[in-house]
Structures are given as C-alpha cells and as structure tokens.
Amino acid sequence: MLRIGVLVSGGGTNLQALMDYMELHQVKAEIVTVVSNRKNAYALARAEVKSIPTQVISPRDFSESYAFNEALMNHFNQYKVNLVVMAGYLVVIGDPFVSAYKNKIINIHPSLIPAFCGDGYYGLKVHEAALKKGVKLTGATVHFVDEGTDTGPIIMQKAVEVRNSDTPKSIQERVMTEAEWVILPKVVEKIANNKIRVEDNQVIVD
C-alpha cells in the first residue's frame, strides 16, 4: 500500500480532489499525513474532516534551513511515507530532503512546463505571465521534484484553452478544474499501481 504524505500551504483544493478521487476509485494508497507551513491553511481542515493526521512545520520556526528539512524528513519517516505530494506547497524544500526521497516527490504546477515555471512563477503570477505572452494554450504539469525549481522529470500534462475574455483569475480556476484536479489524482493512482518509473531522467508511463 502506497503511503502518501501531502505538503500544502493554502486552501487545499488539489488535496480535496485527490482525496475524493482516491475514495471514489478505491486507489491502492492512503494519505497518512498532511503537513502545512501555515497553521491557518484551510487544507488542514479538509484533512481533518477525513480523519487524516495533520502537522504544521514552518521554516520560520527554525533558525537554519537544514533543521527545517530535517524536521520534515523525520515527520515523514515517522509515518513511513513513500510518496510525497506537493499540492500547492509554496516552500522550497532543500536538497537533503529531495535526495532522501529521490523520484518519490511529485509536484503539481499550473502551466505547461517548461513555460512559465521556475523561480517567481506561482499562483496568479503564472497566469498573468501567460496572458501577457498571449499564449493560446496553457494547462498544468505533474512532475517529479529534483534539486531545481520545476525542473524535475515531467510525468503528465493537460492543456487548457485560453479564451479572449480570460483574466488571470478565470484561467486559474479553469486550469484547476480542467487540468490540476484531473491529472494529479491520475498520477498518484498510476504510481500506486507501479505504472510509472524513471529511466535516464525520463518518465515512463505504462
């Protein structure tokens, strides 16, 4: 059974989509802990409704980044987590954590990587940049996390059409509902069924 730890920072809509999908499709996995860097993140309340243990671990509570990453690792080790899902997590995790969970951390990003990704591209900033560039398609990407920012191997993408009437907020909402909430649960299901592997830094999906 795949044991999942989810990292969140905000409202937790991706977490909710994942929990709903796993329950509906009886995915061979269990979310065993949800961790946030913000004590008032609504995502924690979503987890508590499902009786999932929650924890707040914030980098602000540590004087050194290595201590923060060590606390995260210790927490996930305690829960025997073998897949970490970053679902709207706005903290950059350190190399020691990434190395400890190599090819076992996935992230959902609201663009078609390599477009509009990397440092500074998060939340509405991604969609503002897409509108400014005048792209006709945007979307979402699930990728493995490596030591860079949004640079890990791509697992799955889904495109969303950009309309002439769109605002950053309307694109954000449609990317979530049409792409993020669709592909993140599917990737988790495939990992749970051993349908995803990494070879030479490329993702093979069976």
Give the active site residues. Answer: 109
Judge whether 84 and 5 are in contact, CB under 8 Å: yes
